Chains A and B, each alone.
Chain A
């Protein structure tokens, strides 16, 4: 991958957050309720030109945008990309633990290629308390992660049509999760339901067997590992995208018209 400076959409995301925040605060006096009255005229916050001018005025430093990209690449575990980008952008990676990054990458690859046992082994080497802590804590999300992780191994067995092994595995390794919480039990039931279909991939629970489900599990494990090592579990860029979405929802709720960012990836604005 060739490193290059921030794409417009990344700058747009950051600037859109700031512009949207301004729009919300400027229009807060127009309506105190989220529902527009039938006779209330729709307010325009700005034309597209004015909006773009506001974005341009934000003066985001290139170095800030580059740090955003590095942060994203490091958080998501793209080590090689991070190294190359850092080299081209002249950013130092001295304060980043690249070994840890490497480990997370290997874990992600193991999950995404279906080598769940390898992934378990790698996780238990890197973070021996992680999967135990996921049981101990009362946080529903961490318990769900634990189940998802084991569930993926079960799904791989079903995918390979090893029904007997799948049943045995579920009985031995997953049933205990089901006794802890009803949601886990429901997740297990969905997984076991795959057994009744000739073509599990085409069943209502077929999504569990999609590669995307592996990616979902890999993302959740990656987040858990970052939390475990006391790092931010989400990249700053992801947070900015969420903030931009949130701000736009706020403006939409107020029935305000503005140049909406309709394609965050492409940085495309809607015509107002």
Chain B
């Protein structure tokens, strides 16, 4: 075992600057510090401790652990180790490099056979501390050594020691709550909750942390649930103490990573036992007591479980909706809604209770006009966002915003309800423009970015449908300039959020005519050429709308070469992007000049158009193409453009398409186009008025919006 030992620093009292000023005192030191260090102040780069090795003393400790010593000495050494590593990342990594994990693994195996509780607890507390380090190599090693399996095995032993079980479960919980393994928002902090990022890839507000794991077998949840009997360990342990209850429920929350795992947990019948705990602790919480708020925490954790278990799982959501607490004959919904009825509820409880109903709404178990959703949950979340401080916790604000995004995205009927208080919008603007003024303590940059991202995205969602809300938001001083500034930051999440806002606003004729200036055009042109596909896709959605004839952006986009870019998108491997490309071309050609139409045709080429008509099986793409052709064959230009296609060949192709078994919408488009072309071929007096050709705004990239919902522009 090689290790580098720290050298003791050699202090030369004449050479160190600080000590020269010992007689002169602090004033001289300040002068020196200010003059020499000021330029460096903001560029101070702290050393990294990840590669540090143990000190001599720490090396000695490791040797003692390995030596064959008496049990009481071993406990002493383990306690000393524990006291060194807890709270010190440097120590943990240094010991890790020295091979401490393997030593602890051997000790754990040895003393598991002997069932030596005191030693096992010390070892488990050490492992629990190691599992809290944000270092993927260390965590992978913990998993490789099989610590999770060993803990699960220990939990099956029948021992009369609550402390032992609490230690085991705390250790297990540390693995599940690790940011490396789990959702970065599911941490011990009660305010950090579920992330919605597994369904909303384009909205990256929630996750910028990549998974460091290359192999699924390293996920604690997979280790736990690969053997379904492992879950059977927990029910017995639920009755031991509040600590075990909290640990188990939080582990189960973390295990709800997908529908399969959720269903597995439901099958083990945790719902009834956790509901029982919930009711028990609500009743206790309601009594006057001056000593303990443990019950409040437990209520919060139980609610978190119900949110996790039904998230994006319609079957489980339906089950929870009908679950009844047999002792009082109340449904789970009634129990949880009673928490929303009470004023001055702890914020965590209010938050999770609201999120529960929102999850039921998103799985369509509850409609969005259900009072649990619109009158209780939504208003509670809005109220939480506007509270002046929530224990100064920025995390809860972010969680509230993200949950509101989740709810309101696709439920535009709730947008006006969300805006029931002007204070809500004002708060959103404050969080966006000057978040540091709201929070008393200094927040680090990562949090700053997160809250601004969530705020901006929420504004984007709110501005995506109703014209009056769009106007209110767009008219806010500094909003557009701030959004542009966010795009120009180096932070991807902020860039995406800014583009989402532009997209929401672009779904309005009025906004296209007034808000979209040259600077936004330049932003879009920049984004659409980005190497980041997510940015390109959202930018392309915005461009789909901003190329419309009445948009102030159109000329600048055309001069910026947007036509070539859109044509290139048609053959892009990403399907959404290719759809966006065709959609944008369609909108571009609406009420367009002859030159632009000719440019589009030349870019596409006649042969390719025919090829697509004959062979394309993607219905969305085909609808866009047919609409594009309709726009191109506008009355006044038909006589010039039609010969480029050979009118007979075109009509024949369309007739053949009509005979195929396309959807109603495609068939309608084909029919309209055929009728239009036929009427164009007829003498002027015989021409029938063509159907009004409405351009369509590209629907939101927010997945809830289906194509046909937003087929019409929002016109004043």
Q: Which residues of A contact B (CB under 8 A)?
A: 67, 70-71, 74, 95-96, 117, 120-121, 124-125, 128-129, 131-141, 146, 149-150, 163-164, 167-168, 171-173, 175-176, 178-179, 181, 183, 185, 193, 195-198, 203-204, 229-232, 236
Contact = CB atoms under 8 A, between A and B. Distances in A.
B664 interface: no
Contacts of B132: 129, 132-133, 135-136
5 contacts: A128-B128, A138-B443, A171-B9, A196-B22, A197-B26
Contacts of B6: 168, 171-172
Interface of B: 6, 8-9, 11, 18-19, 21-23, 25-26, 29, 44, 46-49, 55, 79, 82-83, 86-90, 125, 128-129, 132, 167, 170, 174, 187-189, 242, 289-294, 296-297, 393-395, 441-444, 446-447
Contacts of A150: 87
A141 B441 CA distance: 8
A162 to B, nearest CB: 12
Nearest to A93: B291
A173 B89 CA distance: 10
Nearest to A67: B290
A181 B125 contact: no
Contacts, number: 131
Contacts of A193: 26, 29
Given A71-B290, A128-B125, A193-B29, A146 B55 contact: no
Given A124-B82, A198-B22, 17 more contacts: A95-B291, A95-B292, A120-B83, A128-B167, A128-B170, A131-B86, A135-B87, A136-B132, A163-B11, A168-B8, A176-B88, A196-B21, A196-B29, A197-B26, A230-B293, A231-B294, A236-B290
B89 A176 contact: yes
Given A129-B170, A136-B188, A193-B29, A173 B291 contact: no
B710 to A, nearest CB: 38
Given A140-B441, A196-B18, A231-B291, A173 B26 contact: no
A163 B9 CA distance: 11
A206 to B, nearest CB: 11
Contacts of A204: 26
Contacts of A138: 394-395, 443-444, 446-447
A263 B628 CA distance: 81
Contact of A124 (B8, B26, B83, B393): B83
By Cβ-Cβ distance, the 6 closest A-B pairs, closest first, are A131-B87, A179-B46, A230-B294, A128-B125, A230-B297, A176-B90
Nearest to A136: B132
Question: Which of B19, B25, B291: most chain A Cβ within 10 A?
Answer: B291
A151 to B, nearest CB: 12
A259 B8 CA distance: 63
B47 A179 contact: yes
Contacts of A203: 25-26
Contacts of B90: 172-173, 175-176
B188 A183 contact: no
Contacts of A132: 86-87, 128-129, 132
B293 A231 contact: yes
Nearest to B125: A128
A183 B294 CA distance: 32
B523 to A, nearest CB: 31
Nearest to B391: A139
Contacts of B18: 195-196
Contacts of B25: 196-197, 203
A230 B26 CA distance: 43
A139 B447 CA distance: 11
Nearest to A182: B442
A176 B26 contact: no
B9 A168 contact: yes
A164 B26 CA distance: 20
B86 A232 contact: no
A45 B43 CA distance: 56
A136 B187 contact: yes
A234 to B, nearest CB: 12
Contacts of B82: 124, 128
Contacts of A183: 442
Contacts of B11: 163-164, 167
A173 B49 CA distance: 11
B646 to A, nearest CB: 67
A10 B89 CA distance: 45
A172 B55 contact: yes
Contacts of B393: 139
A175 B444 CA distance: 19
A96 B291 CA distance: 7
A38 B221 CA distance: 68
Contacts of A171: 6, 9
B89 A167 contact: no
Contacts of B442: 140, 183
Contacts of B394: 138
B87 A146 contact: yes
Contact of B86 (A67, A74, A124, A163): A124
A228 B132 CA distance: 16
B239 to A, nearest CB: 18
B712 to A, nearest CB: 45
B29 A124 contact: no
A177 B55 CA distance: 18
Given A173-B88, A203-B26, A121 B19 contact: no
B193 to A, nearest CB: 15
A150 B88 CA distance: 10
Nearest to A229: B294
Contacts of B86: 124, 128, 131-132
A163 B447 CA distance: 38
A77 B294 CA distance: 18
Contacts of B444: 138, 181
Contacts of B48: 179
Contact of B26 (A96, A131, A196): A196
A71 B289 CA distance: 10
A140 B291 CA distance: 26
Contact of B129 (A121, A128, A137): A128
Contacts of A179: 46-49
Contacts of B291: 71, 74, 95-96, 231
B53 to A, nearest CB: 11
A199 B44 CA distance: 30
A176 B292 contact: no
Contacts of A172: 6, 55, 90
A250 B395 CA distance: 30
B598 to A, nearest CB: 58
A71 B292 CA distance: 10
A247 B502 CA distance: 46
Question: Which of A150, A164, A179, A185: most chain B Cβ within 10 A?
Answer: A179
A131 B293 CA distance: 21
Contacts of B174: 129
Contacts of A236: 290
Given A164-B11, A172-B90, A229-B294, A121 B83 contact: yes
A124 B125 contact: yes
